């Protein structure tokens, strides 16, 4: 049986900068730290939490996806897997917009 969205949408300590990150409050998963934008390689497919890699993922750029808006693209520091993740614009601890805008468009 699959895990519920509520069970996966929990706070965490960022593996890159060490800051306590609150759970997302906009109805979506929080896939990265809003303070440094780093993530962890936990998904094989978006939201499945099935990856065994678990290495840090560096924010490498931005893309715009129809229906999803701007997304931060992360690259795994161990295996090179790339994954776009939607921005958190509202709620507790929105993404640092200055940091987002410093990323190159891909």
pLDDT tens digits along 22-72: 988 877 778 899 999 999 999 888 778 889 999 999 999 999 998 888 999
- State the Rg of the chain over Cα: 13
Nearest 5°: CA angle at 59, between 14 and 55?
55
Of 54, 32, 59, 34, nearest to 43 by C-alpha is 54
Whole-model pTM? 0.86
Nearest 5°: CA angle at 88, between 11 and 55?
55
Q: For position 106, what pLDDT does the model report?
A: 94
Q: Which residue has the higher pLDDT, 13 or 24?
A: 13
Nearest 5°: CA angle at 91, between 56 and 15?
15
Of 31, 36, 14, nearest to 99 by C-alpha is 36
Q: For the chain, report the end-to-end CA distance as a whole number of angstroms.
A: 36
């Amino acid at each position: 049986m699959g895990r519920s969205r509520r069970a996966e949408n929990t706070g965490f300590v960022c593996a890159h900068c060490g800051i306590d990150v609150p759970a997302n409050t906009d109805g979506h998963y929080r896939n990265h730290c809003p303070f440094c934008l780093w993530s962890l390689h936990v998904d094989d497919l978006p939201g499945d939490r099935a990856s065994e890699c678990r290495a840090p993922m560096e924010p490498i750029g931005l893309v715009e996806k129809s229906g999803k808006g701007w997304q931060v693209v992360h690259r795994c520091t161990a295996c090179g897997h790339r994954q776009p993740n939607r921005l958190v614009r509202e709620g507790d601890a929105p993404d640092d917009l200055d940091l987002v805008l410093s990323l190159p468009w891909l």
